[in-house]
């Protein structure tokens, strides 16, 4: 198998996976747009305002039980309260809890969980076509056939994963949840490496 065949095979193996990742991304975007519409229609901003008041009460209790304030303690409380504290309006002023930051944090977590659920459904319906471990094994096998060196530890690790179907499904769903950008970067690196090797074999400079 020559270098061009390897590049074509690698690109094809990632094509379906990349397509599904884009599908998950676009589905989440549609769901977020629907959520924004429903939020405006039914005035759900009142929910976030109530949440902000609840966080403010928690913050006040933490400060009461925590003793004098200092910067490290403020950072700790900010982390505990999920980084929803905005800057003070003036020196020595009271901390302000942002309802908008609370909303952003909740929406971010909810969108990630929804993306994972959608990805898991896609993986279960398309298994084993989208098995990331098998795809990686095929890519490494093609590289090995072309004379590329594959670390034995990596090969043994991937071979060991073949016995754990459930873990491979969760891993594949998690990678789909990450979106298409990591796959774009990986494909670019593979193609660049193969192109450099092709030039070296042809007598050019890698």
Long-range CB pairs of 157-165, under 8 A, 24+ apart, other chains included: 158/133, 161/133, 162/133, 162/134, 162/137
Residue 44 lies in a domain: yes
Instruction: Identify the pLDDT of residue 90.
Output: 54
Q: Is residue 55 a part of any domain in this protein?
A: yes
DSSP state letters, 10-60: HHHHHHHHHHHHHHHHHHHHHHHHHHHHHHHHTTTHHHHHHHHHHHHHHHH
Residue 99 lies in a domain: yes
Token reading at 119: 């990805």
Asked if the structure places residue 204 within a domain, the reply is no
What does the alpha-carbon distance between residue 91 and residue 77 come to, in Å, rounded to a whole number?
18
Q: Is residue 205 part of a domain?
A: no
Q: How many separate domains does the chain show?
A: 1
* pLDDT tens per residue, range 68-95: 555 666 666 666 555 665 555 555 556 6
Does the predicted model carry a pTM greater than 0.75? no
- Structural domain range at position 87: 3-199
- Residue 206 confidence (pLDDT): 46
The sign of the torsion formed by the CA atoms of 13, 17, 22, 26 equals positive
CA–CA dist 59, 206 (Å, integer): 59
| pLDDT, tens digit, 9 for 90 and up, residues 128-148 | 777 888 777 777 776 666 665
Q: What is the mean pLDDT of residues 165-175?
A: 88
Question: Which tens digits make up the pLDDT trace of 1-33?
Answer: 555 665 666 666 677 777 888 888 899 999 999
Higher local confidence (pLDDT), 71 or 45 = 45
Decide if 206 is inside a domain: no
| CA dist., res. 76 & res. 86, Å (int) | 14
Mean pLDDT of the chain: 75
Q: Is residue 27 part of a domain?
A: yes
């Amino acid at each position: 198998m020559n270098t061009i065949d390897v590049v074509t095979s690698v690109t094809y193996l990632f094509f379906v996976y990349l397509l599904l990742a884009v599908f998950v991304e676009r589905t989440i975007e549609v769901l977020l747009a629907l959520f924004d519409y429903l939020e405006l229609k039914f005035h759900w901003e009142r929910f976030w305002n109530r949440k902000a008041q609840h966080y403010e009460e928690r913050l006040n209790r933490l400060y009461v039980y925590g003793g004098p304030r200092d910067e490290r303690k403020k950072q700790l409380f900010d982390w505990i309260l999920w980084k929803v504290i905005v800057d003070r309006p003036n020196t020595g002023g009271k901390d302000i809890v942002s309802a908008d930051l609370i909303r952003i944090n909740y929406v971010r977590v909810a969108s990630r969980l929804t993306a994972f659920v959608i990805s898991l459904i896609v993986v279960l319906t398309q298994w084993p076509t989208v098995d990331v471990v098998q795809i990686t094994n095929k890519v490494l096998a093609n590289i090995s056939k072309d004379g590329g060196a594959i670390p034995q530890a990596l090969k043994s690790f991937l071979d060991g994963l073949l016995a754990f179907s459930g873990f491979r499904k969760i891993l594949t769903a998690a990678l789909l949840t990450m979106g298409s950008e990591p796959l774009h970067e990986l494909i670019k690196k593979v193609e660049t490496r193969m192109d450099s090797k092709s030039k070296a074999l042809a007598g050019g400079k890698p």
